Structure 1
Amino acid sequence: MTGLVELLSDYTVQNVAMGAVLLGIASGVLGCFAVLRQQSLLGDTLAHAALPGVCIGFLIAGTRDMGWIMAGALGTSILAALFVLALTRRTRIKTDAGLGSALGLTFAAGVVLLTYIQGQSNASQGGLDTFLFGQAAATLRSDLWLMGGVTIAAVALVLGCWKQFKLVTFDPEFARAVGLPVALLETVLTAMIALAVVIGLQMVGVVLMTSMVIAPAVAARQWVKRLEHMVLLAVGVGIVSGLVGALISASVQNLATGPLVVLAATAIVAVSILLAPGRGVLWEQIRHWRDRRTIGQRQMLTTLYKLAAHHRDPDYPAETGMLDSFHGTRTQRALRQLQRRGLVEPVAHMPGEGRHWVLTEAGRREAERVLKTMTPEMA
């Protein structure tokens, strides 16, 4: 505990931690809309499209001014999004192909500009390539004020247009029918995803930022069903991921903060996909196993009931081996489970034969109920 307090008292660690919190809030809120609108690849495209904007902002300012760099990155990201919209709406090119084209074009342009800048004699360009993977340790308090202002503006816009954004996300056709400017709202949402990318450039970088836009929302989606709860949980996941990555990076030398933040978010996603109730892989497997067991018991009940009806004997004893042959598998486990439920019971029959089973009164009622719910084909 003392070590953690000492760590947080460090000026650089404080800057990184606060930047991680701001990044978690922005990516959590805005990433939810990207995931629900099935625009995960759009986040990747906008993240790569920010690189030429970073270079343009540097060329305009002549130094690493975060205001100009963020403005340039936001501008080229929005232009990339508009390029994709125009390409997909005015041609026969599909959305995924349009996104791939924009990603490759803008990132190539960014690399060319970055190479050009590094070939100049301007000493301020040193370390500009760190925007590819982020350099959280270089975050200044002035950068935090800028990131905080942008984050507050983004969250305020989401809260102010919450109902409209929600309707456009889930039912754009109905939103268009009630007179909402769907195209404008979708453009604003896309621009806000670009805004989330811009906020994380210093912390995570161009290449990894798309993971921070998507991962918190994906993790939150596994646990909740309502958008309000999803946004709140995604913000929490984003903040925790940012803080964990920042603290590990500060504790261990020569470990980059950005990749650690992304790894922490990815770990939370993996745990969520595995363990989340209702959606988790583990719970799905448990449900599948229970369904198989239930189906096996229902089939056994109806088999015993039909045999008794065929022989016109409600207490007709069915031998285990015969049931195994009829179902093509061992039925002992299903019979034992039915016995524990009081639906069947073992009976003695002829000496030297295997164990026989008969339906109890409760078993007959259950079998009749099951048969009534089955379709004629199933029966």
Structure 2
Amino acid sequence: MTWDLLRETLLLEQYNTRLPVLGVAFLGATAGLVGSFLLLRKQSLLGDALSHATLPGIGIAFAIMSTMGFNGKSLPVLLFGATITGLLGVLLVIGIRKTTRLKDDAAMGIVLSVFFGLGVAILKMVERIPGQSAAGLDGFIYGKTASMVWFDFILITVILIVTTSITIAILKELTLLCFDADFASAQGWPTLRLDIILMALVTSVTVVGLQAVGLILVIAFLITPPTAARFWTNRLGWMLVLSATIGAISGWLGVSISALHSNLPPGAIIVIAAAIIFLFSMIFGSARGLLPRYLRHLQLQRKVGRQHLLRSTFEILEETQQTEPLKNVPIDMDLLRKHRYWGKGELARLIRQGRSEDHIERQPSGELRLSESGFGEASRITRNHRLWELYLIKYADIAPNHVDRDADMVEHLLGAEIVHQLEAELDLSKPIIDSPHTIMPTELGLQSEPSA
């Protein structure tokens, strides 16, 4: 393999590979688009049941056409037969789910195994039909991308256009179906009809995908791109675009690599390419990736530790002083350590963080003192904590001796808008109820002594 051959293949300059690459890329985009709704509908395995349910239709269509004296390997006829049994499999899954207590996974597993076993048996039987050869029908199991012709490409393109048009036309309805089907049904939306439309779209993509990746691997085309896209965004529109793009890239890379190495099966390489993109997305995805989530967790831990340190320091100042206004004076580290039962290592880390953010100052005597900015921040944090305590006591009916723990779990997420709403909701000029803290820090004449 030379670099020139690699460039020509990836850039579609090779005539022999241009059609399969484009066809499978279009198929990947369509499968990614439709698969997104299956993923959000929590029915991803339905595509697997559907793909396996197409196998009996292929064998039956071949047997009927061969018995009548026609060409049993006519692709439109085989795909028509696959569509019929595929839809029958989907209807059986829906019927089992509606009429029994079985869950979706059990219903899909039953349909998948029964139809696939029936399909294998039928393919064995049609091999005995005199005058017809069933050789090549097993290509629908593993895919035969290299044999793609103009008819296949045109069919895939039409499916892509039709699927995209229908998705755009009923995007609002499909969104409601995926996120809250019960609410949609209660509001009078035709959820069953929408489900059937979605299944028809999945069926069309699955049947066309048999030619490219085969019925065993087509499920990866329906699941992997939307799953990878989900790691990058929480918005449906962007998820659809990313899923279609990932599906197209997977198909493009898979067929191109397979074309460069003739001994590599295209279907398997396509799935491997999609899996690599999935793994990259799982690690680095900005919305739900493992690494960004870990970094956000560390950032939240730092924020929680900083706020606990500042609030504890402020509360110690309140406990050790009976004067108004409250004075910002140095405090002993032992008092701070005992206030929240911090270990020496944890407290030292929080103090280093506070000093780096210019909230804590270490005095020559070894005591700690809030800086000017730290004193104001500590006052704000303490006030927000007590606002939430009072709100829980008044509206959530939480006992005053338990409210501190509950407020401690939420206070770090309070933004300015929520604080303003709490202030509006609570009339701070009147006593509400006995609380562990009845005085708001900003109601005190707070002042900070200048640094020595």
TM-score, scaled to structure 2:
0.77
- Mapping of residues 65-84 of structure 1, within 5 Å: 65-84=74-93
Q: Which residue, out of 195, 200, 207, partners 1:191?
A: 200
**In structure 2, what is the Cα distance between the partners aligned to 1:37 and 1:154?**
17
Larger relative contact order (CA 8 Å, sep ≥ 6): 1
Q: Which residue, out of 369, 381, 384, partners 1:370?
A: 381
Residue number in structure 1 paired with 2:333: 319
Q: Which residue, out of 245, 268, 277, partners 2:286?
A: 277
Q: Which residue, out of 235, 240, 261, partners 1:226?
A: 235
Runs of 5+ in structure 2 lacking a partner? 67-71, 322-326, 390-402, 409-452
1:342 to 1:79, Cα distance in 2 relative to 1, 3 A:
same
Q: Which residue, out of 350, 354, 374, partners 1:338?
A: 354
Q: Point out the structure with max Rg over C-alpha.
A: 2
Q: How many residues align?
A: 374
Q: Which residue, out of 58, 71, 86, partners 1:54?
A: 58
Runs of 5+ in structure 1 lacking a partner? 350-354
Residue number in structure 1 paired with 2:174: 165
CA drift at 1:120: 4.4
- Offset from partner CA, 1:26-48 (integer Å, 9 cap, x none): 20221111111111111111111
CA drift at 1:73: 1.3
**In structure 2, what is the Cα distance between the partners aligned to 1:196 and 1:305?**
63
Residue number in structure 2 paired with 1:293: 302
**In structure 1, what is the Cα distance between the partners aligned to 2:235 and 2:309?**
41
SS at match of 2:287: coil
**In structure 1, what is the Cα distance between the partners aligned to 2:99 and 2:344?**
59
CA drift at 1:22: 2.4
- Offset from partner CA, 1:223-275 (integer Å, 9 cap, x none): 23333322222211111110000100011230010111111112112212221
SS at match of 2:214: coil
**Contact 1:60–1:68, Cα closer than 8 Å, also in 2:** no
**Contact 1:346–1:356, Cα closer than 8 Å, also in 2:** yes
- Mapping of residues 135-284 of structure 1, within 5 Å: 135-284=144-293
**In structure 2, what is the Cα distance between the partners aligned to 1:305 and 1:318?**
13
Note the aligned Cα RMSD (angstroms): 2.3
SS at match of 2:369: strand
Deviating beyond 6 angstroms after TM superposition, the runs of 4 or more aligned structure 1 residues are: none
- Offset from partner CA, 1:295-346 (integer Å, 9 cap, x none): 1222222232233333337423323797389302412221122112221111
1:64 to 1:9, Cα distance in 2 relative to 1, 3 A:
farther
- Mapping of residues 343-358 of structure 1, within 5 Å: 343-349=359-365, 355-358=366-369
Identity of aligned residues (%): 31
Amino acid corresponding to residue 318 of structure 1 in structure 2:
D
**In structure 2, what is the Cα distance between the partners aligned to 1:119 and 1:10?**
40
- Offset from partner CA, 1:77-131 (integer Å, 9 cap, x none): 1101111111121122222211111111111111111222334455531121121
Residue number in structure 2 paired with 1:114: 123
1:149 to 1:304, Cα distance in 2 relative to 1, 3 A:
closer
Q: Which residue, out of 14, 26, 34, partners 1:30?
A: 34
**In structure 2, what is the Cα distance between the partners aligned to 1:152 and 1:314?**
69
**In structure 2, what is the Cα distance between the partners aligned to 1:152 and 1:57?**
27
Which moves more between the two structures, 152-161 or 335-344? Answer: 152-161
**Contact 1:67–1:146, Cα closer than 8 Å, also in 2:** no
- Mapping of residues 34-45 of structure 1, within 5 Å: 34-45=38-49
**In structure 2, what is the Cα distance between the partners aligned to 1:179 and 1:321?**
63
